[in-house]
Amino acid sequence: MVIKNLGRVPYLPTAQAMQAFTEARQSETPDELWVCEHPPVFTQGLAGKADHVLFNPEGPDHIPVVQTNRGGQVTYHGPGQVVAYPLVDLKRQDIYVKEYVYRVEQAVLKTLDTLGVTGHRVTGAPGIYVKLDDPFGHSVLAKPEPGRDPFLGLGKIAALGIKVSRHCTYHGVALNVAMDLSPYGRINPCGYMGLKTIDLATLGVSASWDEVAAELSRRLASHLGA
């Protein structure tokens, strides 16, 4: 897997470049991993609903809303967030989308573990979450009682949204390192009203963007490599 650190790049041209790469790639094209951060932007997935954007996108707002062809709903990208775009040929890897998502999430979990943070999956809600009252503990999540908010006591630290075209993936995963989290309050993150978001800095983890980007890149290359 060829790893490319793009630095801080605008969202839309990067998404367009991923799509062009995927459409042009051949069976022998090496997989790539693009790692970057974006200036502030809200992105809306294919399943996104307008009422999950809690402000007027046509108004004089300084953060744009960009429609995308990835799965999922609305999320936020901004400085201090490691965004990783694995461009992987699933057919060559002989894995299905469900397995691919599991491997991406596992790479995030292992990255967090390296930093002393315990991440969790929530059934039916792609991404990685942490216990807000005990982010460094190792207890498993209790099965939520019927009618109980499955996100109670949790904060989302990594969001996942992918696109698969001709058995090849693009878009990817975003891990919050040290951000201004306030823009999340202007959306229902990933379509969930009141879902809390968190970053490593708020948890008290002192790690630079470069350090987290390098570790996540290494983990993704390991979990998605041939």
DSSP codes joined into one string, 198-213 = --TTTTT----HHHHH
Distance (Å, whole) CA 84 – CA 4? 10
* 168 a catalytic residue: no
Query: How far lies 77's CA from each of 55, 57, 138, 177, 216, in Å?
Result: 17, 16, 29, 12, 17
Sheet holding 41-44, edge to edge: 65-67, 41-44, 75-77
CA angle 42, 155, 54 (to 5 degrees): 35
User: Of 190, 200, 207, 224, which is the active-site residue?
Assistant: 190
The candidate with the shortest Cα–Cα distance to 119, out of 98, 152, 141, 92, is: 141
Which residue numbers are catalytic? 190
